[in-house]
């Protein structure tokens, strides 16, 4: 399971580094260390936290959208994967936004989707495609948790 440095976790949640650090230090979110000994958050923990945070921030009385672009890409964390024999349902939490994609089980298996993974929700009209971003350069790549 991937781990994300505090700065990376903050970016994924759409908050400042200081806020994320405060949440980790206060115990609001469990912290760990990466393979280099830096403060980090486990991917599955971050996915759970993002989901809880989004649910508490949901506002059904929000103003309707006046305009939107045709195509958007939202980088976030896979928070849930439900598979049956033919189809899969994948949820991605990108900051305050939750995306749900229905795709073939074969596609979900090929992408090896699981909670805590970094993914991109590519949205066009009513379709949401799930993509896995290319590995970042070594200086910016999240460290994998030691086995």
pLDDT in tens, 63-112: 554 544 546 778 889 999 999 999 999 999 988 889 999 999 999 999 99
Higher pLDDT among residues 112 and 124, named by residue: 112
Domain ranges of the chain: 3-51, 71-131
Q: What's the token pair of residue 85?
A: 């024999």
- Domain 3-51: which topology? Multidrug-efflux Transporter Regulator; Chain: A; Domain 2 (1.10.1660)
Query: Which pLDDT belongs to residue 52?
Result: 82
CA angle 67, 133, 112 (to 5 degrees): 110
Query: Which pLDDT belongs to residue 132?
Result: 85
Residue-by-residue DSSP string for 50-74:
HHHHHHHH--TTPPPP----SEEEE
| pTM of the shown model | 0.56
pLDDT in tens, 21-64: 999 999 999 999 999 999 999 999 999 898 887 766 555 555 55
Residue 143 pLDDT > 60: no
Looking only at the bridges linking them, the beta strands covering 3-5 and 39-42 are antiparallel
CATH class given for the domain over 71-131: mainly beta
Q: How many helices (H) and strands (E) does the chain have?
A: 4, 8
Q: Alpha-carbon distance 3 to 61, whole Å?
A: 35
Residue 1's contacts (CB-CB under 8 Å, 6 or more residues apart) are 42, 43, 44, 114, 116, 145
């Amino acid at each position: 399971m991937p781990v994300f440095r505090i700065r990376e976790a903050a970016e994924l949640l759409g908050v400042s580094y200081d806020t994320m650090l405060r949440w980790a230090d206060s115990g609001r979110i469990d912290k760990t260390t990466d393979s280099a000994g830096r403060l980090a958050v486990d991917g599955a923990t971050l996915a759970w936290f993002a989901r809880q945070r989004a649910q508490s921030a949901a506002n059904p009385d929000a103003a309707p959208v006046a305009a939107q672009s045709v195509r958007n890409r939202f980088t976030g964390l896979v928070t849930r994967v439900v598979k049956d024999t033919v189809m899969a349902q994948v949820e991605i939490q990108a900051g305050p936004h939750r995306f749900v994609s229905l795709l073939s089980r074969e596609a979900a298996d090929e992408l090896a989707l699981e909670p805590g993974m970094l993914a991109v929700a590519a949205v066009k009209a009513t379709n949401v495609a799930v993509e896995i971003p290319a590995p970042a350069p070594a200086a910016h790549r999240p460290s994998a948790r030691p086995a």
